[in-house]
Amino acid sequence: MIDLEKPGVHKRGKRKGQQKVALGIKDEITFSKYGNTDDIWLSRSAFDEFKKCKRCFYLIRKKGFVAPGTPQFTMNSTTDKLLKKEFDLCRKDQKSHQILIENKLDNIIPYKNEETAINIYGDPIVSSNSKKPYEKMEAWRSNYHGLQARFKKTNFILYGSVDDIWLDTKNNYLILVDYKSQANEKEVSQETYWDGDFKTGYQTQLDFYFYLLKQQNFKETISNDAYLLVVNARGLEDKFDNKLLFQSKLIHTKVKDDYLENEIQEMIDVFNSYNIPESNKLCKNCAYARQRSIIDKL
């Protein structure tokens, strides 16, 4: 795809709105956060990248290469934002949500934690906009901060932001939740939802959060039941009428993390290596670059 560098970046003396040249590499790479330069932070999406292709993970995360972007899923982020607002209303009143009630899970409510969020170094996490400390749930849902955990006794910190956490009030269990948006004429069902290769990524995502959540010293137990809240625009209406109608469905899964530490260690070994790993032979981007390099010397 063609992805053009956008103007509007305020960096290195360039004025806002001035055209930038696409370089394909960052002018500086940051591995750290909160002013600590000893640790290397790797996010859940870095792990996702590693699972798809070790070579791209290495080039992007370690060497600072900038891959061409894909179109932004703005519809998905809008539904995420609205779902968060909706569940926050129930969180505020500590009551269950309609979809939980419909699924006979009215003992489950959105988890509320108003304690000040603390980063891995023991300092309060402060919002760069309001300068106020984040509450824990806010920080865990922020892409920059997220749930944080040191990987064993290494200098690698893992982090990832969750969509939501629910509380099973009957058993005092914390439950992981991720929101997913899609458009498909077929109704979403528990029986068929997990069919298809890319859904494995959704499962890994929840497993990764489960691994992080277990390391936060909660008094509650972390449940190995987790849910996707899938909102599906089926498009079966007679006309558009300035609205898109979604059907919501809760999809249940069991999370596990017994395999994760080995894979995370493998990711760290790749990161620490001086050798560029193999590429993924299924990737069309690399195939394109390979073909192009035969005749097109830039």
List contacts with ligand SF4 (CB under 6 A).
53, 55-56, 279-280, 283, 285-286
Say if residues 149 and 197 touch (Cβ distance below 8 Å).
no
Say if residues 66 and 101 touch (Cβ distance below 8 Å).
no
Between 55 and 214, whose beta carbon lies closer to ligand SF4?
55
Cα–Cα distance measured from residue 167 to residue 113, given in angstroms and rounded to the nearest whole number: 11
* Least spacing, CB of residue 160 vs ligand SF4, in Å: 20
Q: What angle do CA 273, 283, 144 make, to 5 degrees?
A: 60
Between 76 and 285, whose beta carbon lies closer to ligand SF4?
285
Cα–Cα distance measured from residue 260 to residue 243, given in angstroms and rounded to the nearest whole number: 42
Between 21 and 282, whose beta carbon lies closer to ligand SF4?
282
Residue 225 neighbours by CB under 8 Å, 6+ apart: 173, 175, 252, 253, 254, 255
* Least spacing, CB of residue 279 vs ligand SF4, in Å: 4
Between 54 and 249, whose beta carbon lies closer to ligand SF4?
54
* Least spacing, CB of residue 186 vs ligand SF4, in Å: 30
Listed in sequence order, the DSSP H helices in 58-198 are 74-93, 98-102, 136-140, 190-193
* Least spacing, CB of residue 20 vs ligand SF4, in Å: 23
* Least spacing, CB of residue 114 vs ligand SF4, in Å: 41
Between 56 and 177, whose beta carbon lies closer to ligand SF4?
56
